[in-house]
Structure 1
Amino acid sequence: MFDYLIVGAGLAGSTLAERLASEKNAKVLVVDRRSHVAGNAYDCYDDSGVLVHRYGAHLFHTNDREVYLYLSQFTDWHHYIHRVLSWVDGQQLPFPINLDTLNQLYGLSLTEETMKLFLDERAEAQEIKNSENVIVGQVGKELYEKFFANYTRKQWGLSAAELEPEVCARIPVRFNRDSRYFTDVYQGMPKQGYSRMIERMLQHPNIKLMLQTDFTEIRHLIPYKQLIYTGPIDEYFNYAYGRLPYRSLRFEFETLAQESFQPACVVNYPNEFDFTRILEMKHATGQKCEVTTIVREYPVAEGEPYYPVPAKKNRELYQRYAEEAAKMDKVYFVGRLAQYRYLNMDQVVREALDLFARLRSQDITRRI
């Protein structure tokens, strides 16, 4: 008899497994249908010896000191500040849009003050109902078309006008030369990779791990007291109200006989090509070797679920599943797919730590 059955060996499931085993001395079984731990954060060395992220770039950043210190128990960090370029009008330009972006794009010599005037002349007053409103209201139609419109359509299969405002609101406009993609206090990469970090999290003797195991095939075979589910919430309920839309990705890896391919870890391609971006993880991991591996990302409608699609009708459908989940006793849903939210890695760990705190509080209440 296990105290907890945890479905999913990604960051959410592994955090909860470690906390429950270490702090409550609980007996935990973690199952995952894949052949490896770490979920979409899984990284490994390819045939050329390059450390690659098999499911797209995962770049850790947070202002949450508790999350950072928690993960630091299981890894040392390689200091890395993430910067992104965007291929627009034949140039690789800093993104998010900043002072250098506009000066390079238009051949200008704007200052912080004149940049504000420049954008004020182009911004169009908008009632904020969707992501297009957010960007056009900040920088105007032309820059929206150059940097956002086609990228968004490729990424989500929807126009920015069909997406909730928060999708593009996460991307700032900077009135200085700050080219950092994230401004969080803590930024970096696990020195030996995410997979190794999560393997360490799952090393507690009270944790048993079953890979290549589908939860639906064993849920009635293995005795357990409580369930923590990190998979797609609609799948758990056998799609009773219909399928929640997710975007997936197709990856095209290529190893090149050269030390580097591009000047940054990520270069976006909003307008040309079917792919959205090219990744070169060596920039982020700090690995030194004579070859490099790049990966082109192609968003697709079918496949492994990666991104909940942040549109109003999808949020409403999720709420129906969330109401069913709230009625359940001793079953808990946590993580990007289970909560149908676009969560960064630190936010996933925070959700897991918060759930652990609630579970621990319930035990204390029962004892009282």
Structure 2
Amino acid sequence: MVGPEVYEKFIKHYTEKQWGRKATELPTSIIKRLPIRFMFNNNYFNDRYQGIPIGGYNVIIDKLIKTSEVRLDTCYFDNRDYFDRIARKIVFTGKIDEFFNFKFGDLEYRSLKFETEIYPVENYQGNAVINFTDRETPFTRVYEHKHFDFGDQPHTVVTKEYPIISSRKSDPFYPVNDTKNMNNYKKYQQLAYRQSNVIFGGRLGTYRYYDMHQVIASALKTVKNEVETLAT
């Protein structure tokens, strides 16, 4: 799509660092998420509205759970029978292979490690996120959080993001949607279809590499389908 020079400089090394494997072993859908433009529009996507909500996602989440009971530091699998009994339907957004006790083996995920530092300066990098596309730099991105919401604090908080191999004990972030894993996922998907009282959602529950707008759209569509089903 872009020729060898741009591919080598911006895509190949970053992709292999992020996913821990050769770019040729990954599905093309990963890079097709990004638009190719021959102009000076440097926005990430072509969407009309881009960025994060004013005040951050916490503002939205606080409103969504305002009337709900919320339990932190609670694992569904530690008390599965109890949680299965207290609701007619469960929305499960964890790993689908874990839900079925890894019956067909582990699906592969990539995880992340974050290193956060506070600097006594107003501005560290002048941007919310900078991606490091070279092979030598061990991290993929550096975030300077105040630029997400136009903060004017006299100091700044900076986070470096390192891609790492995911294990059963680490937090999974990205499903590895190569041929091998997708074939395995289809087996779990067949089991999921038989769970009439469980809704599987999110990146982990559906084993899909969603962007934020896509996962929100998927959730809204799922709710619509559920409401229409109840109405009939």
1:339 to 2:206 alignment: yes
1:172 to 2:35 alignment: yes
The residue type paired with residue 218 of structure 1 is: N
What secondary structure is seen at the aligned counterpart in 1 of 2:202? coil
Q: Deviations over 1:49-103 (max 9, x none)?
A: xxxxxxxxxxxxxxxxxxxxxxxxxxxxxxxxxxxxxxxxxxxxxxxxxxxxxxx
1:213 to 2:74 alignment: yes
State which drifts further: 309-318 or 217-226: 217-226
Q: Which residue pairs with 1:231 in the alignment?
A: 94
**Where in structure 1 are there 5+ consecutive unaligned residues?**
1-137
Paired residue for 1:322, among 189, 194, 197?
189
TM-score (norm 1): 0.59
**Where in structure 2 are there 5+ consecutive unaligned residues?**
none
CA contact (8 A) 2:34 2:45 kept: no
- C-alpha distance in 2, partners of 1:200/1:192? 13
Q: How many residues align structurally? A: 226
- C-alpha distance in 2, partners of 1:259/1:140? 39
The residue type paired with residue 341 of structure 1 is: R
What secondary structure is seen at the aligned counterpart in 1 of 2:52? strand
What secondary structure is seen at the aligned counterpart in 1 of 2:126? coil
1:299 to 2:160 alignment: no
Q: Which residue pairs with 1:192 in the alignment?
A: 55
What secondary structure is seen at the aligned counterpart in 1 of 2:148? helix
**What is the deviation of 1:281?**
2.0
**What is the deviation of 1:140?**
2.0
**What is the deviation of 1:143?**
2.2
Paired residue for 1:183, among 21, 39, 46?
46
CA contact (8 A) 2:35 2:46 kept: no
More strand by share: 1
The residue type paired with residue 290 of structure 1 is: P
**What is the deviation of 1:279?**
1.2
Give the 5 Å matches for 1:242-321. 242-271=105-134, 272-302=136-166, 303-321=170-188
CA contact (8 A) 2:89 2:198 kept: yes
Q: Deviations over 1:144-199 (max 9, x none)?
A: 11111111111001111011011111223321111111221122422222223202
CA RMSD of aligned residues (A): 1.4
The residue type paired with residue 75 of structure 2 is: D
Q: Which residue pairs with 1:359 in the alignment?
A: 226
The residue type paired with residue 12 of structure 2 is: A
**What is the deviation of 1:246?**
0.6
CA contact (8 A) 2:35 2:45 kept: no
**What is the deviation of 1:323?**
0.6
- C-alpha distance in 1, partners of 2:33/2:89? 36
- C-alpha distance in 2, partners of 1:362/1:235? 28
Q: Which residue pairs with 1:59 in the alignment?
A: none
How high is the sequence identity, in percent, across the aligned residues? Answer: 38
What secondary structure is seen at the aligned counterpart in 1 of 2:81? coil
What secondary structure is seen at the aligned counterpart in 2 of 1:197? helix
